[in-house]
Structure 1
Amino acid sequence: MNFGGKVVIVTGASSGIGAKAAEFFCREGAKAVLVATNETKLKNISEKCQMAGGNHIVIKADVSNDEDAKKIIETTIKEFGRIDVLVNNAAVGRYGSILDGNFMKSYDESVHINLRAILQLTCLAAPYLVKTKGNIVNISSVASFTSPNGTVGAYGLLKAALNYFSRTAAAELGSSGVRVNTISPGPVYTDIIKNSGARFTFDQLKSTTLLNRVCEPDEIADIILYLASDKAKGITGSNYVVDNGTLLK
């Protein structure tokens, strides 16, 4: 896949899926915009992107902050003059159930990043994506389809809302030549679980899949690049599930 001349924004680019996607886009010749809040991690990923050979810039920004969201788009246009791909990957995991009294806390602590930021960035980027006939890739989760336990209720709720918004955006933007697709991974080796304070391990998550494995971030990054590429020019409004058979178990 060749992204030469394409400008790609990746949020949550400092680790995990976002970091791999940014690196892979650079490797394929894209002008990448790496967005995250952790400056140290961003610097490390920037060095990998430099080694991959792609032109890129780093923006330290909190996607849940409206002014930062505007800065992301404005800086990208000022630097590169266009936007071809928006990858909405930034997310946080917060866990709490109705009966343990933490459901609303988990919702309030994640709604701005896991949902509102994506809506905001999509609205801000859309006029530029129309000009380039670009596309959006949103990172959801299999938690949007099923809730294996009560503690992930708020997380799954917001991801389900993201799925709905992705289809709505695809329906509206399609006539303007803009594609919108979603990826719903199952368990992936990233920092989101560790940072969320979850009480389960990756070994335990393996047992929730048919294939008894957890995905690596590069597996999801490969699908991001495919959906963002011209190879997927006929795909919009789709949700790609990459879960090692989680939903079948």
Structure 2
Amino acid sequence: MPRFTGKTVIITGSSNGIGRSAALLFALDGANVTITGRNSERLEETKQLLLKSGVSEKQVNSVVADVTSSDGQDQLVKTTLDKFGRIDVLVNNAGAAITDNSGATGTDQSLDLYHKTLHLNLQAVVEMTKKVKPHLMKTKGEIVNISSIGGGPHAQPDFIYYAMAKAALDQYTRSAAIDLIQHGIRVNSVSPGIVSTGFVGAMGLDNQASQNFYDSLSVRKHCIPAGMAGNPEDIANIILFLADRKLSSYIIGQSIVADGGSTLVLGLQADMKELSSQ
């Protein structure tokens, strides 16, 4: 029997990328899935991908909603309960590094951008967690947050607010995990590095420029030692691992870094090697 048969999963930001891949893997492994995003066309693409892969329409709840709005959050919870009757897993995947419309970077970025960035990447997670908590208490469920290596100790001067939000999300994951485990709810997270998704496209790059970005980083071993950008499925498999209590029951409040080794190296090392050979 598939391991998630009878379980229900809400995946925010599942209209593309990591969220879409996670939705497919959960559904193929027996779960009922609520998929959601703001773009109705991309969300329909996710739904059709699931159906063409053999997933029953009875397993899919597709909701066009803005996860940063209280109404959107309520819609996700209500429609999931109406269709499936329970919630077992919440995957807080929606997030983005939003660019300043004025072109400002670093400390010149606007406070409006600060509020938008933290609302999407942090506040929405806090709000969804609060709204789903009573239902996860009943099922002894799981929460998986999607963070980023951008929230780590390395400076991120071009995307300060995004890095701040993800660093705060890591602390929220740790703290919420200790608070909620007393109710039987596990909380963990994944911190991806460079993954080939629509992430950089959302920052203004077209498809070709996005592909060039990923290809260029992949050949720079001091950027990605593994020599390749990750695929959405690489992260989705970790999400399913953390949502599977049989496989990861003793992992509480941790973040699994999946970055091809990026956080283990420094650009300084590459330059030192080059200079020492001269």
Structure 2, unaligned runs of 5 or more:
266-278
Aligned residue identity for 2:259: D
Structure 1 position 248 matched with structure 2 position 264: yes
The 8 Å contact of residues 93 and 196 in structure 1, kept in 2 or not, is answered as: yes
The 8 Å contact of residues 106 and 159 in structure 2, kept in 1 or not, is answered as: no
Cα separation, 2, equivalents of 1:162 and 1:149: 16
The 8 Å contact of residues 146 and 156 in structure 1, kept in 2 or not, is answered as: no
Q: Deviations over 1:106-157 (max 9, x none)?
A: 4233111111111000000011001000000000000000445410211111
Structure showing greater Rg? 2
Moved over 6 A (4+): none
> 1:234 is paired with a residue of what secondary structure?
coil
The 8 Å contact of residues 26 and 52 in structure 1, kept in 2 or not, is answered as: no
Structure 1 position 213 matched with structure 2 position 225: no
The 8 Å contact of residues 15 and 37 in structure 2, kept in 1 or not, is answered as: yes
> 1:215 is paired with a residue of what secondary structure?
coil
Structure 1 position 79 matched with structure 2 position 83: yes
Matches within 5 A, 1:1-249: 2-50=3-51, 51-54=53-56, 55-95=59-99, 97-99=105-107, 101-102=108-109, 104-197=111-204, 201-206=213-218, 207=220, 208-230=223-245, 231-249=247-265
> 2:10 is paired with a residue of what secondary structure?
strand
Answer with 67-76 or 183-192: which moved more.
67-76
Aligned residue identity for 1:126: K
The 8 Å contact of residues 10 and 18 in structure 1, kept in 2 or not, is answered as: yes
| Aligned residue pairs, count | 248
Q: 1:217 to 1:40 in 2, by over 3 A?
A: same
The 8 Å contact of residues 156 and 163 in structure 2, kept in 1 or not, is answered as: no
Deviation at 1:44, TM superposition (A): 1.2
Cα separation, 2, equivalents of 1:33 and 1:71: 11
Cα separation, 2, equivalents of 1:106 and 1:189: 24
Aligned residue identity for 1:80: F
Deviation at 1:171, TM superposition (A): 0.6
Q: Deviations over 1:157-179 (max 9, x none)?
A: 10000001111110100011100
Deviation at 1:204, TM superposition (A): 3.6
Kindly, what percent of the aligned residue pairs are identical? Answer: 35
> 1:110 is paired with a residue of what secondary structure?
helix
> 2:175 is paired with a residue of what secondary structure?
helix
Cα separation, 1, equivalents of 2:120 and 2:155: 22
The 8 Å contact of residues 151 and 164 in structure 2, kept in 1 or not, is answered as: yes
Structure 1, unaligned runs of 5 or more:
none
Answer with 11-20 or 196-205: which moved more.
196-205
> 1:188 is paired with a residue of what secondary structure?
coil
Q: Deviations over 1:41-69 (max 9, x none)?
A: 11111112123324111011000001111
